Amino acid sequence: MNPTQVSVIGLGYIGLPTAAVIASRGIKVCGVDVSRETIETINKGEIHIVEPDLDIVVRGAVMTETLRASLTAEPSDVFIVAVPTPFTEDRQPDLSYIESAARGFASVLKKGDLVILESTSPVGATEKLCQWIADARPDLKLPHAHAGDADIAVAHCPERVLPGYVLQELVANDRIIGGITPHCAERARDLYKIFVKGECLLTTARTAEMAKLTENAFRDVNIAFANELSLICDDSDIDVWELIRLANLHPRVNILNPGPGVGGHCIAVDPWFIVSSNPEKARLIQTAREVNDSKPVHVVEKVAAAADQFKEPVIACLGLAFKADIDDLRESPAMEICRELARRDTGQVLAVEPNISALPEAYSAAEFELTSLDDALKRANVVVILVDHAEFRALDRSRLDQMVTVDTRGIL
């Protein structure tokens, strides 16, 4: 039987599309967020993030009154938690957003409800979530302590969608569903079956937590390999892009792309959750993180050397987002590089980011100018490709003829 109402806690890059897709299946969805601005935007049928086609789905769901956003949690049959899980300064997982989300909806929980944690989490976080709920609601039996006769079902179902393809992947991807008990996993599967066309694979909460971390650590290690190659090639006067193209012709070799570093809120963060839980054994995973984190410094040095050729260097940095065709600046190496170039006084730094109209507040003190592609190309003598956005891939190469270029994405 379909739930009467689903609540999605956290209306960011994962929560909002999830809420909208469930609402598009005719189920009433209450989206909960701590930001009044986000709530007001969504309730107008608009969105606060860039994700292809999401605006259409949200507008449709709000107009048909299946989706509503609110600052406070309401009674529902299902609560999906999709809040951030950053790390602290010493690279330990920070679960405070999950804890405060749990305290926020615990008061409206009733017997028979299902709670799903979608946020990427270190192993053991779903059990902690159970305990936070139990602390707030001693009248309810949670499955970590009452396997046989729990009042609430709790499961971890990590999100696995790729920014830029979220709406397709939410429906098409297989889902790993880890229950605190097998019954919890079955309850969560019934929910996902409403909108997921991929397979729903049931396991324990701990395995599901580790599976998500493993997927992102796998990608991080592979990108680190490509980034390490790019550093070696720079020293050996070899074109890394040509090298990788040739090596990838081998039937069992598939090297990823080097870049300016690894950004985003997932791959640059999640491997640390494995490292922090077992630093002695997670040696390769830690080294990969360090290789990828060191890449922006190498790019800055390369750009500084290029700028040195000019008396008055004007550096156009193309792209600020953490990857192509999105607006997300979180942990973006491009942003880090622009800021460092400006900080070092390497020259005048112009940044071009076609997916944003202004720098978000957190970056408003940045010492560089945000401008259009046309303006930047008119003024610059050094051009740095930091993101392979469609606008830059389509650039007429002859416009760069008179300039020194540093291409971190291999698009020129």
Contact footprint for ligand SAJ (CB under 6 A): 120, 159-163, 215-216, 219, 223, 256-257, 259, 262-264, 266-267, 322-323
CA distances to 15, 56, 196, 269 from 167, in Å? 12, 11, 11, 23
Cα–Cα distance, 44 to 102 (Å, whole number): 27
CB 154 within 8 A of CB 142: yes
Nearest distance from residue 258's CB to ligand SAJ, in Å? 6
Query: CA-based angle 121:70:130, to the nearest 5?
Result: 35
Nearest distance from residue 356's CB to ligand SAJ, in Å? 16
Nearest distance from residue 224's CB to ligand SAJ, in Å? 9
Pick the closer one to ligand SAJ by CB: 136 or 256: 256
Pick the closer one to ligand SAJ by CB: 42 or 166: 166
Nearest distance from residue 40's CB to ligand SAJ, in Å? 26
User: Which of these, 86, 76, 83, 77, lies nearest to 102 by C-alpha position?
Assistant: 83
Query: Quick one: how far is CA 112 from the chain centroid?
Result: 32
Q: Which residue has the tokens 């507008």?
A: 59
Nearest distance from residue 322's CB to ligand SAJ, in Å? 4
Pick the closer one to ligand SAJ by CB: 133 or 267: 267
Residue 200 annotated as catalytic? no
28, 212, 295, 323: which is the annotated catalytic residue? 212
CB 62 within 8 A of CB 40: no
User: Which of these, 406, 305, 316, 325, lies nearest to 369 by C-alpha position?
Assistant: 316
**With left for phi above 0 and alpha for psi between -120 and 50, is residue 33 left, alpha or beta?**
beta
Pick the closer one to ligand SAJ by CB: 183 or 302: 302
Q: Which residues pair with 202 in a beta bridge?
A: 177
Nearest distance from residue 150's CB to ligand SAJ, in Å? 29
Q: Which residues pair with 176 in a beta bridge?
A: 201
Tokens of 412: 């020129």
Residue 323 annotated as catalytic? no
Pick the closer one to ligand SAJ by CB: 293 or 369: 293
Q: Which residues pair with 31 in a beta bridge?
A: 8, 69
Nearest distance from residue 300's CB to ligand SAJ, in Å? 16
Cα–Cα distance, 243 to 12 (Å, whole number): 39
CB 19 within 8 A of CB 57: no
Pick the closer one to ligand SAJ by CB: 152 or 266: 266
130, 157, 266, 317: which is the annotated catalytic residue? 266
Nearest distance from residue 408's CB to ligand SAJ, in Å? 9
- What amino acid occupies position 235? D
CB 320 within 8 A of CB 332: yes
Pick the closer one to ligand SAJ by CB: 322 or 392: 322
Pick the closer one to ligand SAJ by CB: 109 or 320: 320
Catalytic residues: 212, 266
